[in-house]
Chains A and B, each alone.
Chain A
């Protein structure tokens, strides 16, 4: 009998402990952070840009959580790697939506990743904000937002830069063979034709190859005055290295869309004097971001993509607070309201969306590569 009583006592205390644990965890639950997701190219072709994105994300998160977070809770971002590939990007989004059940996903980066991931998150009623630039992204759906001006603007401005700066008439075009690159190709051609220029070579290159000499020979076969287009990441490094070794250089220079994609990972000597455009980073907000970045990581940002994800995190946080809800539908509606009043650090700072949820305005900055660093171009 005594024994039974003793066990009863133990059971009683054990249940007390368990109940109190539940209560305690309930209390924690009330303060559990609001979790959103991000898909970033941590590895693969664009790992250099990916590093800036991870850092920009961290800077925004620190700021937001120091300022009190969202809905009185802290904001947390679950980061997944896209490996710069659509398939892995889609796997990441499935995980974030199906398992983590996040209301918002940031990123995609390349249009070829943003398109399939955006289609899935839109179909699941989850908000996705990307800084990809393909015009095709417009049609993804109401839950999908772009915070960077689309390619036709960028490509047209790049060609304009080449024409104004070098009086170029004969153009070579080289692009990455992806949704983004093909967009740049199409809009560059349109702009060159409009300006009465001649296209002497048009080259699409495949990713992650060791040998781009045949492609380079083709670009330079008819001696173009300028070469426009877009080169990306590791492959840009290989292409510039091989062009350097072959002594191939356009007479009046390279003019690249999103130049930091090409120059950041490349060997400095091989990209000396390469010109191109990036989203405009001037202005008070952008300067403050650059200072914070420098202070935290001991070096200035290599690309502009830290700026874009920074704006994406802030826009999301503001929208959640404005909607007073972490529900995707409320966040989606709130985004349209907060964007016009927000002053961003990327692309000129005005992040207003048009009716498709894409950027209305984008201001580009002319840059040139000097000693391995991008500096503002002045003629």
Chain B
């Protein structure tokens, strides 16, 4: 197997999870709590797009865009319904609330769409070969969409008034108010942005594989690992974190540790020493634990306070 292929596989994984992690991290930055219900926005977005694409026969790109907007609005609605009552509550209280909300949303999806496996109307993708790498058109689309989304996020945060106001509100909410920024309005925008990014990530996962009500829940650990790795609240850290996790999962399982330990046969002869595949999920956990012990603020450090 070619090394490029592994990098591409890692890139696909990073594109999907990165979108989710950036959404999580921007909401954390303003709301100051880790929203465990975040990954469920991915699931809801994916299923909404499914309904529009398969049931109503809409074009998948249009269906995806509508689903992303709907999820964004839904998240603001949920904020007004649930979290607005908890402004200023401890982050533990908020986390537990979001955990409960996540369970409710997950089962809501199941109640509405059922537990059966579903897929978008895009047919089986035939891979193309580029520089010795096999990749399907949909996967190219996923990587491009993810990269473009990240550039857009960057431009929003750095160039627009709204993005600067988001960063200002995150850094110093009281002073932001003194500048005339209506911070509650910023909070709504942040919910919208975070949830729509999650929805986009969910649709990407759905395009690449399939949809089930547990699709959000099943990526929760890697998404949190990425966010912690990049430093909670730091979207650029999340982008780098996603790449690292993707590469670690793919290379980690593929690498013959025996060859590394013996310096490719220089000292002793030991081959076929692999990380057991059953421990793939442990890679996320180990990343989280190591980062929390070694650099709790993430590899990129938190933005200065």
Contact = CB atoms under 8 A, between A and B. Distances in A.
Is this pair of chains taken from one and the same complex?
yes
B115 interface: yes
A337 B41 CA distance: 56
Nearest to B278: A204
Interface in B272-305: 274, 276-278, 280-281
Interface in B54-102: none
Nearest to A248: B1
| Most interface-central of A83, A210, A269 (chain B CB within 10 A) | A210
A205 interface: yes
B124 A238 contact: no
Interface string B191-214: 000000000000001001110101
A194 interface: no
Contact of A218 (B12, B215, B277): B277
Contacts of A177: 278
Ordered nearest first, which 9 A-B pairs have the shortest CB separation? A43-B115, A204-B278, A214-B253, A213-B9, A203-B277, A210-B209, A214-B250, A234-B117, A247-B134
Contacts of B141: none
A215 interface: yes
B268 interface: no
B14 to A, nearest CB: 11
Contacts of A246: 5, 9, 127, 134
A213 B127 contact: no
B160 interface: no
A245 interface: yes
A245 B249 contact: no
A215 B249 CA distance: 9
Contacts of A218: 253-254, 274, 277
A238 B210 contact: yes
A245 B139 contact: yes
A221 interface: yes
A210 B16 contact: yes
Contacts of A215: 253, 277, 280
A208 B250 CA distance: 18
A83 B277 contact: no
| Most interface-central of A47, A213, A267 (chain B CB within 10 A) | A213
B264 interface: no
Interface of A: 43-44, 47, 83, 177, 203-206, 208-211, 213-215, 217-218, 220-221, 234, 237-238, 241-242, 244-247, 265, 267, 269-270
Contacts of A210: 16, 205, 208-209, 215, 218-219
B116 interface: yes
A217 B1 contact: yes
B4 interface: no
A211 B124 contact: no
A368 to B, nearest CB: 20
A211 B11 CA distance: 12
Contacts of A237: 117, 210
| Most interface-central of B205, B212, B280 (chain A CB within 10 A) | B280
B175 to A, nearest CB: 42
B136 interface: yes
Given A47-B116, A244-B124, A214 B210 contact: no
Contact of B134 (A205, A245, A269): A245
21 contacts: A44-B115, A47-B115, A83-B115, A177-B278, A205-B278, A209-B218, A210-B16, A210-B215, A211-B208, A214-B277, A217-B6, A217-B250, A217-B253, A218-B253, A218-B274, A220-B1, A241-B209, A244-B127, A245-B135, A246-B9, A247-B127
Nearest to B254: A217
Given A214-B280, A244-B124, A245-B127, 19 more contacts: A47-B117, A204-B276, A206-B281, A210-B16, A210-B209, A211-B208, A211-B249, A214-B250, A214-B252, A214-B277, A217-B1, A217-B253, A217-B254, A220-B1, A237-B210, A238-B209, A245-B139, A246-B9, A246-B127
A195 to B, nearest CB: 20
B209 A265 contact: no
A267 B126 CA distance: 13
B125 interface: yes
A265 B117 contact: yes
B74 to A, nearest CB: 22
A204 B277 contact: yes
Contacts of A265: 117
Given A177-B278, A210-B16, A270-B124, A234 B212 contact: yes
Contacts of A270: 124
B13 interface: yes
A47 B213 CA distance: 14
A211 B13 contact: yes
A328 to B, nearest CB: 32
Interface in B122-146: 124-125, 127, 134-136, 139
Nearest to A81: B115
Interface in B1-41: 1, 5-6, 9, 12-13, 16
Contacts of B278: 177, 204-206
Contacts of B114: 43
B124 A206 contact: no
B124 A208 contact: no
A205 B278 CA distance: 6
Nearest to B283: A214
Interface in B238-258: 249-250, 252-254
B212 A208 contact: yes
Contacts of B250: 213-214, 217
Nearest to B281: A206
A221 B271 CA distance: 13
Contacts of B116: 43, 47
Contacts of A221: 1, 254
Contacts of B219: 210
Contacts of B252: 214
